[in-house]
Structure 1
Amino acid sequence: MSDDAPVSDDLPDSPIHTTGTDHITIWGSNAEDTIEFYRDLLGMPLVLRQPNLDDPSQTHLFFDTGDGRILTFFVSDDRQSDARPQRSGVGAVHHIALRVAPDRFQEMMEALDEAGKGYNVFDRGIFHSVYTRDNNGLVVEITTDKFDVPDDRRAEVLATTQRIREEAGADYAGEEHMAEALEELGLEAEAHDLPDAESGVGGVE
């Protein structure tokens, strides 16, 4: 059963090994609304704009999410934005998650307030998350880590946290499990000072 699949940062015995995320592409509405949300509010540089190579009647927008990984949108001026929640189902995208620096987390929430964007904030145990929606109702999670985990050790830290969580009999990974994992791996990382938030299940209001 899949519940018995081991959690590990070791490369699996598979015929293909990916080397990272290149880009994710989303069906967007129009360029103006998409740029307003992702560039002007979330601060992602618009780094490339060209025709959709499979359908030149549409435009393909490329945004840098902050670390060189790219989020792209197919847009067309004849499509209106629709902020209603998107349909869910097998194969659908539940949400996308982006990161902000811990010292900008409070400022990010204030910017969402000023932009009139509804959101919920949660303490997810090993990170804090804000959930909002873009101009087309797609759930966008904006998260920040409780600890300054090096990107090249992230998988190792998460897999070790998972093992410690299971040994403790906890349902979810908590701050204490990650702190123990960091200590075990010899990584010095102080916890960031983040605002109080409820834990639990939920998303956008």
Structure 2
Amino acid sequence: MPVATSGLHHVTAIGGDPQRNVDFYLRTLGLRLVKTTVNFDDPGTYHLYYGDECGRPGSLLTFFPWRGVPGGRRGAGQATTTAFSVPEGSIGWWKQHLEEAGVETSGVRTSDGEEALSFRDPDGLAISLVAHPQGDPRDPWDTPQVPAEHAIRGLYSVTLSVHSEDATAGMFTDGLGLRFTGRRENRLRFEAGDGGPGTIVDVEVNPGSPQGLVAGGTVHHVAWRVPDGATQRAWREELVGKGVEVTSILDRQYFRSIYFREPAGTLLEIATEDGGFTTDEPLLELGKELKLPPWLEPQREQIEAVLPRLHLPDENNPDVAANVAEREGASE
């Protein structure tokens, strides 16, 4: 019996201009910026975490935003769509809201009781909003632009594109402990734990699709959650025993991670649920200031010199606006 995940932890994508990224995800989608840090492997680049009030695992979409990054190519060996969960009956509100913000949307699609609305972020990342009859008990982040009754509850699912299903399906069932729950045309669905929002991966089989290229506007990796380090270590040993190439355990400050690829090429992560984003700043202050891990703190001056300044458009939090104004005044 393999070690099994209870669901998604986060999805990490590559974006372009960091300010444009912040504006879209805070103002247009109504998420909270729960951590402003850097890519630990490339500290001259931000790592921005968006989620619910405290950045619970399963609510998180994160970005490495690079100005001028070349665009990627969606295709096989990639996570090609990231879906968020929204309340039943909210899709009409979202369609109007996005179109008023200048975002082109798809028509509303209905399947098996789910309503879905698709669009792309400013860098071309494919996103869907899914409303579903089973409901979602997770608490939203409430903003003036996106009121709580319509707000995103967290991740709903990810879609992976592959040329052939067998090896990837085997990895999900035998390597991640997911359950195969159905097929519709060329799409297979797998779910973790008890199923439902935040536990789903859809595998889309397209033998003739191009191979994906990870760059701007594409997903870098998909992370699944595990409760603690002991479970993660056991899982790593199990994967290695099956011949999977797995990284060592890496300290990501707010969780610990291991990485490996599923057979089609998508980079997967197993991240611990312990830790959290309040380890280095209080809940009410999340995301306001650049946070660095202890091993990068001695380089703060050099890192801040190369990072573009971010202006946080969090109009429902006067403290954030005052903080930005204070910094701007001090620099004049």
Whether TM-score is above 0.5 comes out as yes
Question: Is the 8 Å Cα contact of residues 119 and 131 (structure 1) preserved in structure 2?
Answer: yes
SS at match of 2:76: coil
The equivalent position to 1:128 in structure 2, one of 109, 115, 121, is 115
Partner of 1:106: 92
Question: Is the 8 Å Cα contact of residues 46 and 62 (structure 1) preserved in structure 2?
Answer: yes
The percentage of counterpart residues that share the same residue type is 26
Pairs aligned (count): 143
Q: What is the distance in 2 between the residues matched to 1:39 and 1:90?
A: 30
Q: What is the distance in 1 between the residues matched to 2:23 and 2:129?
A: 17
Give CA-to-partner distance per residue, 1:60-99, whole Å, 9 cap, x none: 00000578221110113x33686xxx52322222110011
Give CA-to-partner distance per residue, 1:91-135, whole Å, 9 cap, x none: 222110011112432211111110121111111222000010111
Question: Is the 8 Å Cα contact of residues 64 and 71 (structure 1) preserved in structure 2?
Answer: yes
Partner of 2:63: 73
Task: State whether structure 2 residue 26 is matched by structure 1 residue 39.
Answer: yes
Question: Is the 8 Å Cα contact of residues 50 and 61 (structure 1) preserved in structure 2?
Answer: yes
Q: What is the distance in 2 between the residues matched to 1:115 and 1:149?
A: 26
Q: What is the distance in 2 between the residues matched to 1:23 and 1:43?
A: 17
Displacement of 1:24: 1.5
Q: What is the distance in 1 between the residues matched to 2:12 and 2:95?
A: 26
* 1:164-203 aligned within 5 A: none
Unaligned 5+ segments in structure 1 are: 1-12, 173-205
Question: Is the 8 Å Cα contact of residues 30 and 81 (structure 1) preserved in structure 2?
Answer: no
Q: What is the distance in 2 between the residues matched to 1:141 and 1:81?
A: 23
The equivalent position to 2:78 in structure 1, one of 85, 92, 100, is 92
Q: What is the distance in 2 between the residues matched to 1:45 and 1:65?
A: 6
Q: What is the distance in 1 between the residues matched to 2:126 and 2:26?
A: 17
**TM-score computed with the length of structure 2 as normaliser:** 0.38
* 1:153-164 aligned within 5 A: 162=182
Task: State whether structure 2 residue 139 is matched by structure 1 residue 145.
Answer: no
Displacement of 1:21: 2.0
SS at match of 2:5: coil
Q: What is the distance in 2 between the residues matched to 1:25 and 1:112?
A: 22
Unaligned 5+ segments in structure 2 are: 139-155, 157-178, 187-332
SS at match of 2:90: helix
The equivalent position to 1:30 in structure 2, one of 2, 9, 17, is 17
Displacement of 1:19: 3.2
> Which is helix-richer, 1 or 2?
1
Task: State whether structure 2 residue 76 is matched by structure 1 residue 63.
Answer: no
Q: What is the distance in 2 between the residues matched to 1:103 and 1:148?
A: 11
SS at match of 1:106: helix
**TM-score computed with the length of structure 1 as normaliser:** 0.60
Partner of 1:118: 104
Question: Is the 8 Å Cα contact of residues 85 and 136 (structure 2) preserved in structure 1?
Answer: no
Displacement of 1:171: 6.7
Higher relative contact order (CA closer than 8 Å, sequence separation 6+): 2
Letter in 2 for 1:79: G
Letter in 2 for 1:146: P
